[in-house]
Amino acid sequence: MTVFNTTLKWLLQRRIPRIEAMMQNPGATQHTVFNQLIRAGRRTEWGRKYGYKSIQTIREFQQQVPVSSYEDLFPYIERVMKGENNVLWPSPVRWFSKSSGTTNARSKFIPVTTESLDESHFKGGKDMMALYIANNPDSRAFEGKGLSIGGSLHQNPYSTNSAVGDVSAVVMKNLPSWAQYIRTPSIDIALMDEWEAKLERMAEITSQENVTSMLGTPTWGIVLIDKILSSTGKSNILEVWPNFEVMMHGAVNFQPYRELFQQQVFPSAKVRYQEVYNASEGFFAIQDDLSRVGEMLLMLDYGIFYEFVPLQEVEQPFPTTLTVDDVELDKNYALVVSTNGGLWRYRVGDTVRFTSLYPHRLKVSGRTKHFINAFGEEVIVENAETAITRACEATGAVISDYTAGPVYMSNGANGSHEWVIEFTQGPDDQEQFNRILDETLRQINSDYDAKRYNDMVLKRPRIHVVPVGTFYAWMKRRGKVGGQHKVPRLANTREYVDDILAQLTRYQRP
């Protein structure tokens, strides 16, 4: 074992006692963060507008400051992008995370301050590694390279003094030298603008290196690994990276991809998987116990103050907001954050569900705008992921991507849901897959079950199986290829389903 690996592990483990203290005192930790944010906010235009000087308690903060969407904050963010200071945050802003998201087509620009880089994104990355080492003290991960798949950077269209790009690119560009040393590919390749050319270069470079860990979205990880296998002629990536230890993944639910990775991509019980919840707005949660699949520890000392809105109040102008002291188990909440990046009571767009309290662990259950509720069935992404996973397990299928939307009632016909699914390995019995998908949704969602009763409102789902590569081609056509872009899973309209099916029709047209 190298001296570097041993030394870095020792340095990272020094953080564990502080994480344990945070886990034992979540409310006090969040109060400290809240007070720090309010003190900083008093020096800004936003803070003066909403009377931050008079705010002493969380309750006063919730009464005086509105819950905001991106559209609410954009006029302020635009001014920051044009170079104004002390608008949302007192320190200068030199970076903006560009996120198209999946809730609308317009790009979002999230300010990334020095504080949010140091106290959230970088701290989260180090804690991710520290918690992995705590689970695997004999790890040799730092004897090799960590592969990370990121985006690209561009000049801010409003100002020459700042840049915009995917949050992964912003983080990579600002990493300290020791972190650059242990990652691959080199920064010039990692930040290449043209996605397909970048993948080719990444495949060429990383196939020659001792890659021991990987951080990225599962979907784009598969694309890169397929390119490496195609160029090397190997049957699985462990023949290329024999010392590979762990995949750190985020952005999309890993469960539908787990079988694919465990059986085909990394066919070894020695390879471990660790989930993280990071976003343009900050680094939120990390899987601290690798045996608790899908559950992540909410990181409460990253300069982010958390609030949680009961799902039924998401669309209300003045919703009830709860703190970590108030949340309950197994209820879906919309996530609201105030951050050291200058976001104040900002609706992230994600929904979460707590699986344990003290320590506070959660699962990402969906998006506030990603659901199907055309008939009162209230199907959320977590429901869809569970149903897809069970259907795959029962039929030997391995899924690549999917999306779903409603089929509206017309001409006296009842409605239904329509799914577009791409498999890397098709089910043994497609009809059985379809049946289990529907039955599982009925078992786990009583509203869906009620609408499906005797086909009175909803008929069985329509399911289209599409060729391999369909979703990649669709995302490419929409200009949404790259590590930060995700296939939208559910929509309450037919926007995505119709577009994909129309693409297939055009492709198949003689």
CB 64 within 8 Å of CB 55? yes
CB 473 within 8 Å of CB 503? yes
The larger pLDDT score, comparing residue 80 to residue 5, is at: 80
Q: Do 163 and 211 belong to one domain?
A: yes
Q: Which of 328, 343, 368 is the last residue in one of the domains?
A: 368
CB 349 within 8 Å of CB 381? no
Q: Do 347 and 423 belong to one domain?
A: no
Q: Do 227 and 313 belong to one domain?
A: yes
Q: Do 437 and 310 belong to one domain?
A: no
CB 176 within 8 Å of CB 108? no
Predicted confidence at residue 372, as pLDDT, reads 84
Q: At 507, is the pLDDT very low, low, confident or very high (cuts 50, 70, 90)?
A: low
Predicted confidence at residue 100, as pLDDT, reads 57
Q: Which domain holds residue 174?
A: 1-368
Q: Do 111 and 253 belong to one domain?
A: yes
| pTM attached to this predicted model | 0.80
The CA distance from 51 to 322, in Å, is 21
CATH number of the domain bearing residue 136: 3.40.50.12780
CB 374 within 8 Å of CB 415? yes
The CA distance from 107 to 102, in Å, is 10
Predicted confidence at residue 509, as pLDDT, reads 41
Q: What is the mean pLDDT of the chain?
A: 89
Q: Which of 322, 346, 368 is the last residue in one of the domains?
A: 368
Residues 205-225: what's their mean pLDDT?
A: 87
Q: Do 248 and 396 belong to one domain?
A: no
Least confident of 227-236, 238-247, 309-318, 379-388: 309-318
Least confident of 20-29, 60-69, 361-370: 361-370
Q: At 8, is the pLDDT very low, low, confident or very high (cuts 50, 70, 90)?
A: confident
Q: Do 326 and 375 belong to one domain?
A: no
Q: What is the pLDDT of residues 225-268, one digit of tens each?
A: 888 999 999 999 999 999 999 999 887 777 777 888 888 889 99
Q: What is the pLDDT of residues 112-164, one digit of tens each?
A: 999 999 999 999 999 999 999 999 999 999 999 999 887 788 888 888 888 99
Q: Do 363 and 375 belong to one domain?
A: no
Q: Do 227 and 135 belong to one domain?
A: yes
Number of C-beta neighbours around residue 93 at 10 A: 25
Q: Which candidate, 392, 406, 397, places its Cα nearest to that of 461?
A: 406
CB 474 within 8 Å of CB 401? no
pLDDT at 101 over 50: no
Q: Do 127 and 236 belong to one domain?
A: yes
Q: What is the pLDDT of residues 446-466, one digit of tens each?
A: 788 878 888 878 899 999 999
Predicted confidence at residue 104, as pLDDT, reads 40
Q: Do 317 and 398 belong to one domain?
A: no
Q: Which of 349, 368, 387 is the last residue in one of the domains?
A: 368
Q: Which candidate, 54, 50, 48, 55, places its Cα nearest to that of 34?
A: 55
The two three-digit tokens of residue 32, written as one number: 């400290």
H/E element holding 367?
Answer: strand 361-367
Q: Do 36 and 141 belong to one domain?
A: yes
CB 342 within 8 Å of CB 450? no
Q: Which candidate, 81, 107, 108, places its Cα nearest to that of 94?
A: 81
Number of C-beta neighbours around residue 308 at 10 A: 24
Number of domains in the chain: 2
pLDDT at 500 over 50: yes
